[in-house]
């Protein structure tokens, strides 16, 4: 299947879209040694624009190239051909420019076990050379926002999985980065904890005007989270790109869900 499928738009209003924040332009990423056909393509001629303030869920089968895309946005990998631009800059060659502009939330909380909750939140601010008093106040603010007031001095081992992931989300927001990259941050949590935290996360992303790219394996999670869902086929290329999902009515959501199921089963 080569054509990009799209759902009928609910409202193709004349309002111009916000600026493009993340752009993939004819991006291919191949791994392996440069021996012609021996190269393995993880991303294949991908074109994708993500606009400022969008919350985009990226969905696809295992090995379809989601992490490779993610790493190219984060400046950890360089495209083999084509161009990746974030805020008009090249994330791979202008790594320094991006200090403090992109925050990442991983599946695993990646907290430092020898630092308290508040010290873990302060970590990103330390790297940005924020003065001590300011970073303490900012870290406290975000821990409180994430419902962890009273746990500032707790070490990670004393916190539940959900609380640890709250600390890692507080750490991402505390840096004030405009772009959040999320790699299945709730998939290791039990369903109830994951659902609650997912809702809070979406609210915070919207309230704070972040642009967020959210990788997931779960159709339901994508439907709950995304303003937009992008489904990839393997190697990474867009199979389906659908907007306004979070606010869609039940009938439209069911239609989108069925379409995604169909694509992922192909």
Ligand X SMILES: Nc1ncnc2c1ncn2[C@@H]1O[C@H](COP(=O)(O)OP(=O)(O)OP(=O)(O)O)[C@@H](O)[C@H]1O
Kindly tell me which of 42 and 146 has the beta carbon lying closer to ligand X: 42
Please select the residue that binds ligand X; options are 23, 27, 28, 42, rule is CB under 6 A: 42
What three-state secondary structure class fits 19?
A: coil
Binding segment (CB under 6 A) for ligand X, from list 9-17, 19-27, 55-63, 112-120: 55-63
Listed residue (228, 165, 190, 260) closest to 10, CA to CA: 228
Residue 65: CB atoms within 10 Å: 23
Sheet holding 81-86, edge to edge: 40-51, 20-31, 81-86
Q: What is the DSSP letter of 37?
A: G
In order, the DSSP letters of 150-193 are: T-TT--GGGS-HHHHHHHHHHHHHHTT-SEEEEESTTTTS-HHH
Alpha-carbon distance of 241 to 178, in angstroms, equals 23
Please select the residue that binds ligand X; options are 34, 62, 114, 207, rule is CB under 6 A: 62
What's the closest the beta carbon of residue 252 comes to ligand X, in angstroms? Answer: 27
Please select the residue that binds ligand X; options are 31, 99, 158, 254, rule is CB under 6 A: 31
- Give the burial class of 160: count Cβ atoms within 10 A of its Cβ; 0-12 exposed, 13-18 middle, 19 or more buried: exposed
* 40 touches ligand X by CB under 6 A: yes
The contact mask relative to ligand X for 137-176 (x = CB under 6 A, - = no) is: ----------------------------------------
What's the closest the beta carbon of residue 43 comes to ligand X, in angstroms? Answer: 8
* 27 touches ligand X by CB under 6 A: no
What's the closest the beta carbon of residue 237 comes to ligand X, in angstroms? Answer: 12
* 18 touches ligand X by CB under 6 A: no
**Contact set with ligand X (CB under 6 A):** 31, 40, 42, 60, 62-68
């Amino acid at each position: 299947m080569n054509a990009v499928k799209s759902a009928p738009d609910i409202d193709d209003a004349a309002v111009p879209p916000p600026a493009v924040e993340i752009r993939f332009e004819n991006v291919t990423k191949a791994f392996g040694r440069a021996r012609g056909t021996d190269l393995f393509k993880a991303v294949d001629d991908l074109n994708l624009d993500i606009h400022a303030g969008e919350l985009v869920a990226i969905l696809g089968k295992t090995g379809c190239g989601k992490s490779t895309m993610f790493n190219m946005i984060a400046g950890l990998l360089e495209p083999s051909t084509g161009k990746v631009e974030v805020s008009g800059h090249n994330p791979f060659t202008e790594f320094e420019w991006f200090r403090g502009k992109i925050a990442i939330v991983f599946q695993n909380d990646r907290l430092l076990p020898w630092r308290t909750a508040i010290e873990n939140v302060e970590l990103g601010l330390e790297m940005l050379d924020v003065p001590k008093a300011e970073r303490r106040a900012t870290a406290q603010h975000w821990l409180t926002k994430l419902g962890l007031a009273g746990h500032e001095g707790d070490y990670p081992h004393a916190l539940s999985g959900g609380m640890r992931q709250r600390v890692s989300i507080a750490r991402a927001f505390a840096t004030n980065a405009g772009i959040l990259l999320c790699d299945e941050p709730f998939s290791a949590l039990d369903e109830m904890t994951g659902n609650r935290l997912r809702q809070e996360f979406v609210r915070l992303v919207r309230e704070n005007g972040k642009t967020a790219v959210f990788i997931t394996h779960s159709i339901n999670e994508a439907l709950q989270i995304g303003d937009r869902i992008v489904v990839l086929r393997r190697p990474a290329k867009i199979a389906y790109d659908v907007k306004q999902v979070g606010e869609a009515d039940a009938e439209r959501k069911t239609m989108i869900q069925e379409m995604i199921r169909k694509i992922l089963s192909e």
